[in-house]
Structure 1
Amino acid sequence: MIEIDTISLKKYIVENNKIEFVLQEIGCHNIKYHPLKNYYTCSYYNGDNPTAINVFNDDYIKVVNWTRSKNFDKASDIITLIEYNKNYSFLEALKFLHKILELEYNGYSKKSEIKVKNPCELFKRIKDSVRGKGFDVNEINYLDEDLLDDFVPLLHINWFKEGVMPWSADKFGLSYSYKRKRIIVPLRHWMTGKLLGTNMRTVIPCYSELGIKKFLITPSYPKSLNLFGLYENYESIQKAGYVVIFESEKSVIKRDSLNDSTCVALSGHTISDEQIRILIGLNVDIIVALDKDIPIEEVRDICSKFYGIRNVYYIWDKWNLLSEKDSPADALNKIYQFLIKYKIKFDDKEHKEYLKGLKE
């Protein structure tokens, strides 16, 4: 018999589409899945607010509480919710999960059993967890292009000084809001090119000290279902035979200004199942190029999603050529080309290092 850890248990729940079932078993009401944001909303066993809880459909099954925050924190997950709803201890919650999922419980361990998965399971999981719950590309809420008329088509001097060129500003439709003092980046659907939202980045110095948000993204923007820059760069990516994955839209635009149109952005440093599916569907090599401050464990975790399906590499600045929070796209072109040349292939050796990290 094998002792199981919480990572393996939560992955089992997600891969077998059991989140809704677990929520029902612990007495949650008004359970509703939101495919564009890839999470569930529900109320407590003893409450009636239908959006009191957000339960994310990812391997961690993160839980965000909006009404009883004193019982939850940033690390809360579905096990935390079971402990609260059932008034269980941690181990009691684990035993309860095993019972309702009809799994044999033989104690808790920090070590997990690692199994090699069939790559095709990824597509089945996406189909069941996203499309199988009613997601349809035709149901995405596109925005009216007239929205952009409120802004001035303009390349802001700050971005010009950072290397963004006018032709790239035109290509990606950059504009500026004098009223909000923000650079406007249109976010377009990777396949249709239709407007999904905007990312408005402040140009006010010391914004953090003033309590001003650096980014304001359209609330309805379905980040987990899109890849910035793919619509504009698709043909170049196919011709080059590889795609470079950055975190931010600005990185994609800066590289395009250097006549490199092989890049897309996650709009963050996490990747969703739908973004994985889109990237695999490109049938090209994949290069992960996250910011300098992202831990190697997170980089390898993203690479592992493509392991055995596509050739996958990652950029790792072991020479300390980048500043602490820089994107590789922030470097001089000769430094970027150096990092690309010495990119690390996520091969069997790297995969073993990744699995070793999961056990520690």
Structure 2
Amino acid sequence: MQAKELKQYILDDTDRIYTLLRNANFHDFRQNSEEIRCALPNMVNPTGVMIKLNNSLYTSLFELGYSGDLFGALGVVLEKSFSEIMRWVHSLLGLSNGYKKGDTLDPLATLIKLSGNHKSEQQFTSNKLYDQSVLNKFVNGIHRSIIEEGITPDVARKFNIMYDPHMDRVIFPHFDWEDFTKVVGVQGRTTLSKVEIEMTGTPKYWNYIKHYRKTLNLYGFNQASENVKESKQIILFEAEKSVLKQFTFTNCEGNSVALGGHTISDNQVDFILRKLPSDGEVILAFDHDVMTKENEGEGYIINQAKKFSVFRKTSYIFDTYNILGEKDSPIDCGKKKWDYLFKWRKVIE
């Protein structure tokens, strides 16, 4: 898809803009009918970035002195060439360069793409590996907010959850999905309340390792890998805490990972298909707001599930009876409701 056509495709559903921005570690979003404002990665000014919702997706990075379109802005922040950014955007949105609106899934094309004969984003970029000493600046302790979420201390310790007293953030280390001894990302979540965040302009999340790409990793796979093999199931949540809760409910025998959003990249599809037994099952467990958004909803979830259903049994959790809160993960309302939703998940035929 050419740049002009791709911009229109993105404008057709502004959540696609948020998918790109969040995966590039922009944060603290504000939107009106004309533009989106947000903060640059590892910066705190919530109006430091402006994206106009027009045909050019005109974008300004005020603190970096950049003005141009969204793709150029992403190139500046991610330090990538235009061609690399275009490949990254296509991969993240689940598109091929030949995509046209109305195209249907071609299982043979998908198989060729995942076979290794087709160049994918993984051949052009990868996460940098760090020794675990990068975590030495954090306190090896569990903040009370983790316990209040219903996550047990043994699970928190298993996942190396830490605390940054300087920035008052709970630390979630992300270990590489292949080399479990190496750190690729460090996500810090503020302990401030929603009201305090809005009053102080504090970013909810802080990425301590620049250019960490969640699309090239799966949070928690280092802990879940053996259980995935044994159970022949892998559960795909959006966020880290959902994984921690599933491990809590299973007494540290969880088989879930976090995508870092609700768009599954080609790299993640490829990795899961290589690691999951051929008779295994992929289970999508996206947050409730994805299920109910007018421009996403069940159809969107099914389309994401179809990335796997050609090759593996695939199902998804859907809150048919609206038992979750507006932005809840399917596992946020306790084990009983989670077990119910999991039992009645929908299988892609």
TM-score range, shorter chain: 0.5 to 0.7
Relative to structure 1, is the Cα distance of residues 73 and 231 closer, same or farther in structure 2, using a 3 angstrom cutoff? Answer: closer
Superposition deviation, residue 209 in structure 1: 3.5
Q: Is the CA contact (8 Å cut-off) linking 1:288 and 1:313 kept in structure 2?
A: yes
**Runs (5+) with no aligned partner, structure 1:** 1-5, 11-35, 38-61, 78-100, 104-109, 348-360
The letter for the 1-side match of 2:260 is S
Contact 1:242-1:287 within 8 A present in 2 as well: yes
SS at match of 1:339: helix
Of residues 290, 310, 313 in structure 1, which corresponds to 2:312? Answer: 310
User: 252, 258, 262: which one pairs with 1:269?
Assistant: 262
Q: How many equivalent residue pairs? A: 258
Query: Gaps spanning 5+ residues in structure 2: where?
Result: 10-22, 25-55, 75-96, 291-296
Q: Distance in 2 between matches of 1:115 and 1:244?
A: 23
- What code does the residue aligned with 2:189 have? R
Q: Matches of residues 1-360 of structure 1 in structure 2 within 5 Å?
A: 65-66=59-60, 72=69, 112-114=102-104, 116-118=106-108, 119-124=110-115, 127-133=118-124, 135=125, 140-193=127-180, 194-205=182-193, 206=195, 207-217=197-207, 218-259=209-250, 260-281=253-274, 282-283=276-277, 284-294=280-290, 295-347=297-349
Shift of the alpha carbon at 1:213?
0.9
Letter aligned with residue 147 of structure 1: V
CA distance in 1 between counterparts of 2:246 and 2:321 reads: 21
Deviation at 1:155, TM superposition (A): 1.5
Q: Deviations over 1:54-111 (max 9, x none)?
A: xxxxxxxx9784579887579x99xxxxxxxxxxxxxxxxxxxxxxx9x9xxxxxx97
Q: Per the alignment, do residues 147 and 113 of structure 1 end up closer, same or farther by CA in structure 2, a change over 3 Å counting?
A: closer
The structural deviation recorded for 1:117 is: 3.1
Identity of aligned residues (%): 28
**RMSD over aligned Cα, in angstroms?**
3.2
TM-score normalised to the size of structure 2?
A: 0.66
Distance 1:131 1:219, change over 3 A: closer
Alignment CA distance shift 1:290-1:126 (3 Å)? farther
Q: Tell me if the contact between 2:170 and 2:190 (Cα under 8 Å) persists in the aligned partners.
A: yes
Instruction: Pick closer, same or farther for the CA change 1:292–1:126 going to 2, 3 Å.
Output: farther
Flag the structure with larger Rg: 1
CA distance change for structure 1 residues 264 and 214 in 2, over 3 Å: closer, same or farther? same
Using the alignment, how far apart are the partners of 1:256 and 1:316 within structure 2? 21
